[in-house]
Amino acid sequence: MDMYVSGIGMTPFGNHPDHTIKSLLMDACVEAIHDANQPKIDAVIVGNFMGGSVYNQEILGAIAANDLGLGPIPTLKVEGACASGGIALRQAVLGILSGEYETVLVAGVEKMKHISTSEVTNAINAAMDNESNEKHAGLTFPGFFGVLANRYFYETGATKEHLAMVALKNREHAMQNPLAQFTNPATLEEILEAKMITDPLGLFDCSPTSDGAAAVVISRKPSDVRIAASTQASGVTQMQMADDLLSLEAVRESGQLAYEKAGLGPEDVDVIEIHDCFSMTEIISSEELGFFNKGEGYIAVEQGRTKATGDVPINTSGGLLSRGHPIGATGIAQIYQLVLQLRGQAPNQVSGAKIALAQNLGGTGSYSVVHILERVG
């Protein structure tokens, strides 16, 4: 059964002290519904991670349906750490495949900027297993991906400069994106000299905390962007469970499944959004998704191949690093950017883009969701 993205909406990402979690959610939903020409909506699925813990607000599904006047339709929230948005979209795809729905509104939202950094860190740590000795020993997500970076350096010969090149590239992309959180220029030197977060990851290597929302309407009714694949896989919930630190099994598995479903390979993809929660993650995941050989992703970065102007354009939105990372919204914001690309209306437009891939990660590689979109209009 074919299905399509018929509408998209997104708030600016960043600091929104004058917005509530509900007003952000509503803004993105209203825009997506208008963009889809106000179809009848059969269900609402919301991706959100920390609404309950830091904003005392759950039932976002019912709130959206009520306040948008959509009637007594099924609604829910889904959670899968930082992959909550991508998982929400995949649940909508399954709902349509099931025959229960024709058209589904999918939204992602997060409000994180009203709390302190330590409160954010604590809330995000809910994406680790409480019973792991790693969490109790003080491991955080920057720590986890910092360990991966050091191992990557050891095995491949990559250096901090390669990570900085990823951060700089994504910043330069974000400068063209009016919805991005960080649009001020940066230099390689500034990035390399920035405050260390966890060795070797500096400030620019880490995605920020962000407020924001994004929404899409998907439907069986034909429109110009077809969903060619929607896949998901799981990986380890603790670092010590990994056979190989540099293998993000869920990313590889969800990518392979997506290529099979879509009947194409990484060489067919024109534009890509990868979950760059850290600069290191973008490189490893670009390898796991088959765009580069294992251990060679950093070389592609050095050669400029992953820039919007390169042959494997990654994170033309600015990515999590510079577009921003309101957790539940991220997976949907990736789709927003890729639909703009396929419509020929994107910041950092890739000329003639026809096939696009989004990959959304949760936890220590615990969740990965891949969507492949195809321009058919």
Known catalytic residue at 173: no
Q: Which stretch binds a second copy (CB under 8 A): 97-105, 167-175, 194-202, 333-341?
A: 97-105
Catalytically annotated residue among 16, 29, 82, 371: 82
- If binding is defined by CB under 8 A, does position 244 make contact with a second copy? no
What is the C-alpha to C-alpha distance for residues 100 and 33, in angstroms, rounded to an integer? 20
Q: Which stretch binds a second copy (CB under 8 A): 3-11, 119-127, 143-151, 203-211?
A: 119-127
- If binding is defined by CB under 8 A, does position 233 make contact with a second copy? yes
Site string for a second copy, 355-374 (x = CB under 8 A): -------xx--xx-------
Site string for a second copy, 13-52 (x = CB under 8 A): -------xxx--------------------------xxxx
Give the CA-trace dihedral at 286, 292, 296, 297, to 10 degrees.
-30
Known catalytic residue at 206: no
- If binding is defined by CB under 8 A, does position 140 make contact with a second copy? no
Burial 102-132 (b: 16+ CB within 10 A, else e): bbbbbbbbbbbbbbeeeebeebbeebbeeeb
Whether residue 328 contacts residue 49, with contact meaning beta carbons closer than 8 Å, is answered with yes
Burial 1-28 (b: 16+ CB within 10 A, else e): eebbbbbbbbbbbbbbeebebbbbbbbb
Of 238 and 315, the one with the shorter C-beta distance to a second copy is 238
Rg from Cα positions in the chain:
19
How near is the Cβ of 205 to a second copy at its closest, in Å? Answer: 23
What is the C-alpha to C-alpha distance for residues 257 and 148, in angstroms, rounded to an integer? 25
Catalytic residues: 82, 325
| Binding site residues, a second copy, CB under 8 A | 20-22, 49-53, 55-59, 61-63, 65-67, 71-81, 87, 90-91, 93-95, 97-100, 122-123, 125-131, 232-238, 241, 249-250, 253, 362-363, 366-367
